[in-house]
Structure 1
Amino acid sequence: MECPLEWPEPVVPVQSLADAAVIPDRYVKPPSERPGDASKDASVDMIPIVDLGGLTGGAAEREATMREISGACKEWGFFQVVNHGVSPELMRRAREVWREFFHLPPEEKQVFANSPNTFEGYGSRLGIQKGASLDWGDYFFLHLRPESIKNQDKWPALPASLRKITEAYGTEVVKLCGVLMQVLSITLGLDESFLQKAFGEEEAGACMRVNYYPKCPQPDLTLGISSHSDPGGFTILLPDERVQGLQVRKGDAWVTVQSVPHAFIVNLGDQIQVLSNAIYKSVEHRVFVNAAEARISIALFYNPKGDLLVGPAPETVTPDRPPLYKPMTFDKYRLFIRKKGLCGKSQVESLIAM
């Protein structure tokens, strides 16, 4: 069953609700899912920060950097990277030009309103269930790779520099993805090209979701994005350095990520969990909002080619560790989120081989 071409009910941009005194009932989360006063999170836990400059050093430095990444993947599923090769100025310009887009008049943005069939364009919801609980955020979703599906005519024409900056930014971050794919392959004991081949090499997918979380009159009752693990391979997130909001599940606690200047936040997705036979795991995360300021972030998702079967790598399977997951194409896998929205880790858990 494919997704419908239209949403089941009118889509209301969250930005249009930001000045209300109270939030509509559709955005109020059940008490067990509410963040409370997340902006005052007192946790001292920090996700690891990895200096990728070590990958270009001597053998000992390179090996130490890889151990750091492997440890972060096993313990957290998240880490921050610095000295990653992407210009801080390009990062700043990407963030600011998209902030300008979300400040355009509503009619300029609605030209790019999306559908549940592809999500490409401007939107405010994910799942297609009528009457579903909604998150406090708007977004713009677009394809970067492979070239065969990239269509810049679907990217905003305003601000005038947006397409050029987005293309340059995407190109540089995709290069970083290639480096991380090699590192993850090696640290899993695989040939350094294994994951890139498993993703379809040049046909691997890269897409971008720009998230805009307007200020919220009742931030303790809702979430910018509900708890979920990312369905794809892994995610490179450019956070808003002025406003924190990302939280990562660590055991039974939620840890607020304190981003460092000029860093990307990297997190593993479900496809890496499957390919690694759960040596590396995707981790639930969510976003809280606040009453004073809007927040923007740019997530680049690096994913397998949609029609390739993805299952545990043979090298990760042993007599003591049988294959944990049934193979599935990414096209089929991501239909789950398109239909039901964000639901923790229930999708990857449904693949567990019985």
Structure 2
Amino acid sequence: MGTTLGLVAASFFLLVGFEAANRCLRWGASYRWAWYVAFALVMTLVWLYLELLRLLSYVTWWCAVRPAAGPWNLRCVGAGRVRRVRWSWECGERAGRQMLIFDADDTLWENNVIFERVIDEFLEWMTPPGGDRTAVRAVLDGIEAAHAVTLGYGSKVFLHSLGECVRRLRGRAATAAEAARIAGWAAAFDGGRVELIPGVAETLAELARRHELLLLTKGDTEEQQRKVAVSGLTGHFRAVHVVAEKNVGTYEELIRSYDLVPSSVWMIGNSPKSDILPARAAGLNAVFIPNDHTWVLEHGEVDPGDEKVLRLAAFGDLLRHF
């Protein structure tokens, strides 16, 4: 309200000053009066300029800070025009803030390397002397791919897949001893901590100061929530979403839920299959940070010519771009 009155008052006195100058010219006033009028005009222009700067500072604040307070905000439309609509990240981007969506497993902390250690032991056990480990691995990969569709993800499904692999390779159900050996591997996934990837903690802390962050992870809800809780990273995210699968529909639902402008949002992860390709199909930008331990079923081809995909070698490199 104060800014509006200030603009009106400054504009009014600017008109008064021009009228005074016009009368001085018509009546042939002395140079002394001309200096008075000129000084008044300059001071009024400075006043008007300061009021405009104050108005622009309010607009910038609304664009950068207001989203956390509610769904309604200002949206920047064209040059110098502002209208009130639901929050658009286009305006937040102009003010320096963007929406960044992060994957969790193998992006924020190491995950698949634990599965690979168990698989190495399993292959050593199941491969006969002189046998082909890659053939056994191919059978296991096929079982895991099928179970991912019907049963989902996580350590419980993985251990079930190991039991199914034993059945297929040996032509019978696992014995009590074999089942107990498989169940023993569950301890590998029950740790009370996660191994953060280097640079994650400090990078997320800085990014949370600059932008709005979401966490999007797939798998068993209880298992994923436990990992998020022990990671110590929860406070950096506006919300945490655990989903059964990450596909185009998942990202489109996220866009609708937060009323996002897809072209102004970035999905950040290590998996072409779950993070990069479906996000791009939904219209989002993407940041691909490869992990040497990415699960083979999460591999995929990322178009090297896609200018909307940023490729980074390390998580900490995000600070150079966001």
Please give the TM-score of this superposition, normalised by the length of structure 2: 0.24
Highest relative contact order (Cα 8 Å, sep 6+), 1 or 2? 1
Q: TM-score, normalised by structure 1?
A: 0.23
**Of the two, which has the highest radius of gyration?**
2
Q: Between Structure 1 and Structure 2, which shows a larger proportion of helix residues? A: 2
